[in-house]
Chain A
Amino acid sequence: MKQKLATTVAGKLTSKVGLVAILGVAAIGGVTLVSSNVFASLNATAFNTTAQNISVGTLKLTQLGVGNGFTSAIGPIQPGDTQNRYVDVTNGGSLVGSSMTLQIADNQAAASITAISALTGTVTYTAANSFVIGQTVTITGATAPAYNLVNATIASASGTQFTVTSAATGATSTATATPLSTLTSDATNGLQVTISSCTGGTWTAGTGVCSGATNAVLASTAASVLKAGVQTLTAVNLALTAGGVSHLKISMNLPNTLAETTANGVLPATTLQGATGSIVWTFTEAQVTGTTTNS
């Protein structure tokens, strides 16, 4: 009896195990078949056997003075004077430029005065500065009111101090010396800039002679306008091609519209005399519009 029962149980277990095994095999087989159906495929690729080169062009602009260029100081000038300076602006990149603009900046800065002293008609202001003799400055912020001078003329200057002729006296204090910058801020009486190019030739700086054709690039424009924003130069008269050189004459004129009278050595309350500028000329060239090419 016990043996029969054991045989029966063993038989049932064997049947179930067999069933599970069959189902398992079937499942694995099914998954295998399905997986095989998903990943097993044919692929084909095509690529060029010689690598295709592609590069981005460059846009480079440099300026080089011809003669004095922008490197040497100008002045003192007087109303009616014109100073012509010459620069070559070169597109040294591989791309063609579409246009060129000009903007100027006036970099002169006020000087912070740390001490003031007076001796026999001369006032000495201690301050790191870059002033020059004859320059006009206005002093503000001194504790002693007499030291606050309007349109004072620099009588002497070093990198650490400057003097003006004045009978002012008082206690020392700090103050500020602001240089007169109407040269680049007065649209009427201030500096006027005109630019022309020498096409097919070059300028001779000493004589102002162009060996090619002279063409206008910028009509007379106030320096104040050039300082306020970029001005577009006449592209057709510039060499904007890759490697092109624009030979430019920069004419700086102080118009003779200024009418001032100096009596007994005292400058007028509103004056352009002694005004200074520290000018940075920035030429900018833009790329041409990108194109779509079929070839």
Chain B
Amino acid sequence: MNQTRLRRIGALLVILYVLPVCLDLASASLAARASNAAQNISVGNFRTEVTATAGTQNIGTLSRTTGGTVPTRFSNFFVQNFGTIGVAKVTVTLSSITSISNLDYCTGATGAFSAKATCGTGTLVAAVAALSQTITVSIPAGTRIAFQVISSANTITTVVGVSVGTAQLNTATTTNS
């Protein structure tokens, strides 16, 4: 082993010894931390569905048949908010409005029709039917609104759908607590 090689080994040993010391000196400092127990936060959802009866869950659209003779040519359904966020507007679609004159609803979470164009509970809001119409009606989370389609023909079948977009939710809020 020649002298040069010995010098190199010696230099390497010095570096191996000094480097950790230098690094330790560079990182040695005081720091203090403060953390909380995990805080849970969740985003709500808005899921409105068309149901045949209040409170039931029916995934997807709902086929409604208005039948019979005057004055019973109507069919009722509900729009239920199964989500966790209240909605301010809903968009109701009808696959056909041929011979369908009205799409009415009764106000209030317990609103219900008792007869054609008559609310047993709540106040009637009558509107001309359209293939798609956005209705301004408050449906808090967990509640529903009663709707009614009225036809002029003895029998008409239409498929009802409902949708809610983020712009149709209740006004956003700022909470201090």
Contacts and interface: CB of A to CB of B under 8 A. Distances in A.
Contacts of B164: 261-262
Instruction: Please tell me the size bucket of the interface on A.
Output: 35 or more
Contacts of B105: none
B176 A206 contact: yes
14 contacts: A59-B30, A69-B36, A74-B41, A78-B43, A79-B169, A208-B174, A259-B167, A264-B50, A264-B163, A275-B43, A277-B41, A280-B38, A281-B36, A283-B33
Contacts, number: 212
B172 interface: yes
A123 interface: no
Given A80-B172, A81-B172, A60 B32 contact: yes
A256 B168 CA distance: 12
A91 B174 contact: no
A242 to B, nearest CB: 11
Given A262-B48, A263-B163, A285-B33, 17 more contacts: A59-B31, A76-B45, A78-B85, A78-B172, A79-B172, A82-B175, A97-B32, A153-B45, A254-B43, A262-B164, A263-B161, A276-B42, A278-B39, A279-B39, A284-B31, A285-B31, A286-B31
Interface of A: 57, 59-63, 65, 67-87, 89, 91, 93, 95, 97, 107, 132-136, 153, 165, 167, 183, 191, 205-208, 252, 254, 256, 258-267, 271-287
B59 A266 contact: yes
Interface of B: 29-50, 57, 59-61, 82-85, 161-167, 169-177
Q: 5 closest Cβ contacts across the A-B interface?
A: A80-B172, A76-B44, A75-B42, A208-B176, A273-B45
A81 to B, nearest CB: 5
